[in-house]
Amino acid sequence: MPAVTFRDETATGTPVTEVQIEGLPERMTVRELIRLRVREEVARHNARPSDRFNGLVRPDEAEAELNGYRLREPRRIDWERQAGIAEKAFLANGFFVLAGDRQVEDLDEEIDLTTDPDLVFVKLVALAGG
């Protein structure tokens, strides 16, 4: 069974974080992969809730910080809510996903994890004043 590597990079290609998940089917949609990624990062957070969350998208009522988000107080996060936020962010170009050497543009596009096991996520940051 294939494994997938989720890697976050800056817009200039500098790696930020990397997580591998094994035992997956050979093909999954981009939507399923985003939801899987979010579920895993929220599960890690919820195992030891803190006032910092390192994940793909900002939880409700959190402030963005360098490489993460600050929560007002340590709390558990709802992974399904986070997955919905992530899907909306993808559709609004809040981040993009690269599979192999190409950008995927549709949540329902299937990725063959036997040939494209590495997914790169690049978060886009709004520029000040523009």
Taking only the tens place, the pLDDT of each residue in 37-71 is 999 999 999 999 999 999 999 999 999 887 789 99
Mean pLDDT of the chain: 92
pLDDT tens digits, one per residue of 91-104: 999 999 999 889 99
The answer to whether 42 and 79 are in contact (CB under 8 A) is: yes
pTM equals 0.91
Residue 124 has what pLDDT?
80
- Strand positions, DSSP E, the chain: 4-9, 15-21, 27-29, 52-53, 62-65, 68-71, 95-99, 102-104, 110-112, 118-123
Does the pLDDT of residue 127 top 60, yes or no?
no
Q: What is the pLDDT of residue 126?
A: 55
Integer Cα distance of 41 and 113 in angstroms: 20
pLDDT of residue 130: 47
